[in-house]
Amino acid sequence: MTAEPALFSILRQGSYLIVSIHTALDDSQLIRFQEDLIAGIGRHRARGVIIDVAALDVIDSFGSLTLRNTAEMARLRGALAVIVGIQADVASTMVSLGMGTGSVYTALDLEEGMEYLDEHVTRSAGGWAADARR
């Protein structure tokens, strides 16, 4: 019996979750991704989330909306989200079709995403808190 490869992975790095989407996801898989990530934020008490979409050569309107909504859900759960790795062709197509990531911060790669979270997630007396200067 052969195990199917994972569609996405969620890794913990300190107070951050790093999520890599490995292949294009259909609508039901996107919803499962969203549910798993939001649950993981609570389970790991994450204060930052990086969503890596570098493996995707297409992001449709539902995918774009789901990424935006997921980032907003993360914020409501106390975690700042960054989307990284949008390929140049994908970005061009998204803009020409009027799709975007809204107010969600995007970065070129994982390193830039980590730098953004390090600058905007601060340690306070009560624990980790998203920086209000966004």
Q: Are 80 and 130 in contact (CB under 8 A)?
A: yes
Question: What number of other Cβ atoms are within 10 A of residue 98's Cβ?
Answer: 8
**94-121 pLDDT tens trace:** 888 888 778 899 999 999 999 999 999 9
pLDDT tops 80 at residue 1:
no
* Tokens at 60, concatenated: 């449709």
**Tens digits of per-residue pLDDT, 42-94?**
999 999 999 999 999 999 999 999 999 999 999 999 999 999 999 999 999 88
| Domains located in the chain, CATH noted | 8-130 (3.30.750.24)
Average pLDDT over the chain, rounded to an integer: 88
N-terminal to C-terminal alpha carbon distance within the chain: 49
**13-22, 39-48, 60-69, 125-134: the lowest-pLDDT one:** 125-134
Q: Between 98 and 129, where is the model more confident? A: 98
Q: Is the dihedral of CA 131, 123, 34, 5 positive or negative?
A: positive
pTM for this entry: 0.86
Predicted local distance difference test score (pLDDT) of residue 111 = 97
What pLDDT was estimated at residue 52? 98
Name the least confident of 7-11, 31-35, 101-105, 124-128.
Answer: 124-128
Cα gap 82→94, rounded to integer Å? 17
